[in-house]
Structure 1
Amino acid sequence: MMEYLQWLIFIVLNVVIDNKIRAQKLRKYVGLSLLATGLACAIWLPYWAHEAQLPSVPIGAVLLGSGLFLDRHRYSRTKSAHPLLVAPTLNLAADFPDDPLMRHLLQLVHEAVGLPKHQAINLNTSINHDLGCSSSEARRLMAALKQDFGLKLGDYKNNRYFKRRGFDVYLRYVERGCEGKAPLTINMLYQAIKAKRWESETLEAIGYQMS
């Protein structure tokens, strides 16, 4: 009976850990740690598991660790095989930069927020005011920029460009929009990924100078 209970606990732990640990590196290192611990207990400390009446612990740790390590890419964002295909289909301003970096940025913005084909896009187009990007979409976009371009988020804060989420009259938890917040422009994103670092005041100053 005790052994069945241990396996039930391992199954529950596996589900919880798999859902809570989503970062690729963390899944890798936690998986390797559990795998090493399980193997060490099975090879060098088998008497400990027997004395503690926990014979399933070493095997369970090995299985948990192996699962995390082998499935460490599970929650990684899948990159598009053709990251530059979206740019030619858009209505871009005449002086809009036409380089692989910008096209890749537009693809990521399109995936996270959506880019309209019939609305002119220029460097001062803001994803929060003009494109209707929500706070949660912005978080996903910044995570994608970090992953694809190695962007260091520095002092980036979502609440600088978006209102905090809150409850509506029906007590539903909803986005509050961006009214009264600073614009988060495509040029700011472009300059940030070129510099590989987000510095709010510097990027916003660049945007205001071009307005």
Structure 2
Amino acid sequence: MTEYAPWITLILLVALAVWLDKKMQHPAFRTGVGLTLIVVGPILVFGSTRWITELQSNSVAVLAFSYGIRLLITRNKYHLQRNCPPHPLLRAPTMNLAPNFPEDPVMQQLLQLLHEEIGLPKHKTIRLQTSLNFDLGCDGSEAKQFMEMLEQEFALDLGDYDTYRYFNPPLFDVFLKRRAKGHGEKFPLTIGMLYLAIKTNSWDTQTLENLS
């Protein structure tokens, strides 16, 4: 039984290390423990060689040193997981996407922005043809802020984009209402148009409306 003692000790220490790894989630705490173990490891080897050898536990010091390095390398592991913004599909788990709806990083970022600035319905199917003005109920004020965010996030050249082609001006703004006169009925501004504009890095009204 004595000959298996070092292996039993090692297995128990590894199990303890795995358990502690899940419990120690704060970066500062992981850093502190990691540095301590990195110092303790060599001390156990060089400063206490005699009793380490007698216990046949040389691997304990190596394990402590290695685990200390691991804690330092992964000190921000749980911190980054908490700060990472979840995908819109995780924040709105009942959201339905139409078949063949693109889910590349560009569309994911666009959905994230739509979710934060306008709001996406949880129980309606989201399609490329879903319009911000008719389907999502986006008004002129929201549209202005959203398009500014879109321009910044994707470095998008808005080209000949005309907000009054799709949205009515705020009711209280008489000056803008005069500017919007003569635009007639509004056209749908769809998610597909936004996606195409981002992919081509420019806004060409006729091309986007025809393609979408």
Q: Which range, TM-score by smaller chain?
A: 0.5 to 0.7
What are structure 1's unaligned runs of at least 5 residues? 1-80
Selected match of 2:144 from 113, 129, 139: 139
Checking the alignment, whether the CA contact within 8 Å between 2:143 and 2:167 is kept in structure 1 is no
2:87 aligns with 85
The answer to whether structure 1 residue 112 and structure 2 residue 117 are counterparts is yes
Residues 1:180 and 1:111: Cα distance change in structure 2 (over 3 Å): same
3-state SS in 2 of match to 1:205: helix
Deviation at 1:166, TM superposition (A): 2.8
Task: Determine the C-alpha separation between the residues in 1 that align with 2:169 and 2:97.
Answer: 31
Q: Indicate whether 1:157 and 2:162 are aligned.
A: yes
Query: Which residue identity is paired with 2:133?
Result: N
- The alignment's TM-score, normalised by the length of structure 2, stands at 0.52
Confirm or deny: 8 A CA contact 1:161 1:184 kept in the other structure.
yes
Q: Mind listing any 5+ residue stretches in structure 2 that lack a counterpart?
A: 1-82
Distance 1:141 1:181, change over 3 A: same
Give the one of 182, 190, 194 matched to 1:185: 190
Shift of residue 132, structure 1, vs aligned partner: 0.1
Deviations 1:61-83 (A, max 9, x none): xxxxxxxxxxxxxxxxxxxx645
Contact kept, 8 Å, 1:93 with 1:122, in 2: the verdict is: yes
Answer yes or no: is the 8 Å Cα contact 1:162–1:181 preserved in 2: yes
Summarize the Cα distance change of 1:84–1:145 in structure 2 as closer, same or farther, 3 Å threshold. Answer: farther
Partners of 1:155 and 1:83 lie apart in 2 by 33
Greater fraction helix: 2
Q: 1:1-211, aligned counterparts within 5 Å?
A: 82=84, 85-88=87-90, 89=93, 90-167=95-172, 180-207=185-212
Quick one: structure 1 residues 139 and 84, their matched pair in 2 at CA, closer, same or farther if it must change by over 3 Å?
farther
Q: Partners of 1:108 and 1:179 in 2: how far apart? A: 29
Amino acid at match of 2:89: A
CA drift at 1:126: 0.3
Supply the distance in 1 between the matched residues of 2:202 and 2:84 (Cα, whole angstroms). Answer: 25
What are the superposed Cα offsets for residues 19-53 of structure 1, whole Å, 9 maximum, x if unpaired? xxxxxxxxxxxxxxxxxxxxxxxxxxxxxxxxxxx
Distance 1:202 1:82, change over 3 A: farther
CA contact (8 A) 2:139 2:168 kept: no
Runs of 4+ that moved beyond 3 A? 81-84
Query: Once the 2 structures are TM-superposed, how far is the Cα of residue 146 of structure 1 from its aligned partner?
Result: 1.1
Which residue type is aligned with residue 128 of structure 1? N
Tell me whether 189-198 or 179-188 shows the greater mean CA deviation: 179-188
**Counterpart residue identity of residue 164, structure 2:** N
Contact 1:163–1:179 (Cα < 8 Å) also in 2 = no
Question: Is the 2:131–2:189 contact (alpha carbons within 8 Å) kept by the matching residues of 1?
Answer: yes
Contact residue 98 and residue 127 of structure 2 kept, 8 A: yes
Q: What secondary structure, in the 3-state scheme, does the structure 1 residue paired with 2:132 have?
A: coil
Larger Rg: 2
